[in-house]
Chains A and B, each alone.
Chain A
Amino acid sequence: MGAVQLGFSGGEPLLRRDLEDLVAEARHLGYYTNLITSAAGLGEPRLKALKEAGLDHIQISFQAGSQALNDFMAGTRIFEHKLAAARLVKQYGYDIVLNFVVYRDNIDQIGQMLDMAGEVGADYVELANVQYYGWALLNRDRLLPTREQLSRAEAIAHQYQERWKGRMRILYVIPDYYEERPKACMSGWGSIFLTVAPDGVALPCQAARQLPGIEFPNVRDHSVEWIWNESPAFNKFRGFDWMKEPCRSCPDRFKDYGGCRCQAYMLTGDAGNTDPVCSLSPRHDVILSAISSANAAAERGNGAREPGQGEGPIFRNVRNSSKLSA
């Protein structure tokens, strides 16, 4: 079918003992292979084995630029290990590619993040604001930065982009809640991405499973070709015919594909609606009230700068998981 990219993402792909086998087979099939990891469990033996299996590219994710906040959000003492892993990756001939997830508590530290990235000799740094799905949606009041924080952070990111031109590339992604138009989620449903979950279910994006009324096919039961071309799930929001107004007649539909189906579902109750991030959406009010609610929370001080201050985030752990699913 001509697919050339294969990403191993998670969760944490290193938890799979057979990751090396998967990488080797992917490479054998001609894929360019990319590992997106927290670096937990990425020591030298594992890295060497992955290199030998033919792994092409590694991205390491961080929760913050300081040990204290990173380890608080990650729930484990891992910051120093991540730094060591980044240096090791370089020794094995890979670029150092770091992803920082950005939210209210750490957005004021992005200068520190970029300094740290510079110190380990990173080649590419992505500062991506949290996207509000799953656990992040639950914690949105606690995580969404204020508009003032965003403009400060953007200015800092631009300074560093100038300073390190030609040495380190920096990508800064703002939260879509503050955009006028939605993100071109997955470059459109069933357009270029196919995600296979560990149980074999094929999804147009990692979050799509939450959408009701869609039966997602399993690669154990169907060929990938059928799944991609024929399955009702992958055709559900493909192209433009499914759209309602205001997307249906909007010139921007070719750019943003109506935004994100999951976000439309989570925030408006219908996955076929315009992503409410769009200022043209009749439900854009839900975004505006989320922003003011989060800004109010920030003013009450629960966007504390130091870990452990203010209302704590609701962490993903066994206790909270069972409470939610009860």
Chain B
Amino acid sequence: MAVFDPDTILAISNKFRLQWEAAQQAYVLLYAEGMIKLNVSAGEVLKRLDGQRTLAAVIEDLQRQFPNAALEDDVREFVNIAHDHGWIIVKQPT
């Protein structure tokens, strides 16, 4: 399993599209002939993986929004899982 540096920049893979679905009241990942419905925390993490911000910045932002949760470990674990599923990719520095 990949372990990402804090300065890694992650983005949603071009095989998927992240989108808010009002009918589901959830973020979803769309792909050909299928959909993954995300829970609240997965949606909050993935929508921040915009190919611009570093992982450290994403965690910091989440921590600001949810100050009462110790979430760094959970975010890291989820990001690893998302990467293993091919939902997200490491953005190469240009």
Contact = CB atoms under 8 A, between A and B. Distances in A.
Contacts of A1: 23
Contact of A5 (B14, B24, B30): B30
B31 interface: yes
Contacts of A95: 15
B30 A32 contact: yes
A258 B23 CA distance: 30
A93 B28 CA distance: 22
Contacts of A4: 19, 21, 28, 30, 35
B21 A5 contact: no
B35 to A, nearest CB: 6
A97 interface: yes
B5 interface: no
B2 interface: no
B33 interface: yes
B13 to A, nearest CB: 10
A209 interface: no
Interface residues of B, number: 14
B33 A34 contact: yes
Given A4-B28, A5-B33, A30 B19 contact: yes
A205 to B, nearest CB: 15
Nearest to B19: A30
A56 B32 contact: yes
Interface in A76-97: 93, 95, 97
Interface in A1-24: 1-2, 4-5, 7
Contacts of B34: 5
A97 B32 contact: yes
Interface centre among A4, A34, A57, A93 (most CB of B within 10 A): A4
A2 B30 contact: no
Contacts of A5: 30, 33-35
Nearest to B31: A32
Nearest to A93: B14
A2 B33 contact: no
B14 A34 contact: no
Contacts of B32: 32, 34, 56-57, 59, 97
B47 interface: no
Q: Which 8 pairs between the two chains have the least Cβ-Cβ distance?
A: A2-B23, A32-B30, A57-B32, A34-B32, A4-B35, A4-B30, A93-B14, A32-B17
Interface of B: 14-15, 17, 19, 21, 23-24, 28, 30-35
Interface of A: 1-2, 4-5, 7, 30, 32, 34, 56-57, 59, 93, 95, 97
8 contacts: A1-B23, A2-B23, A2-B24, A5-B33, A32-B17, A32-B30, A32-B35, A56-B30
Given A5-B30, A32-B17, 8 more contacts: A2-B23, A4-B30, A4-B35, A5-B33, A5-B35, A7-B33, A56-B17, A97-B32
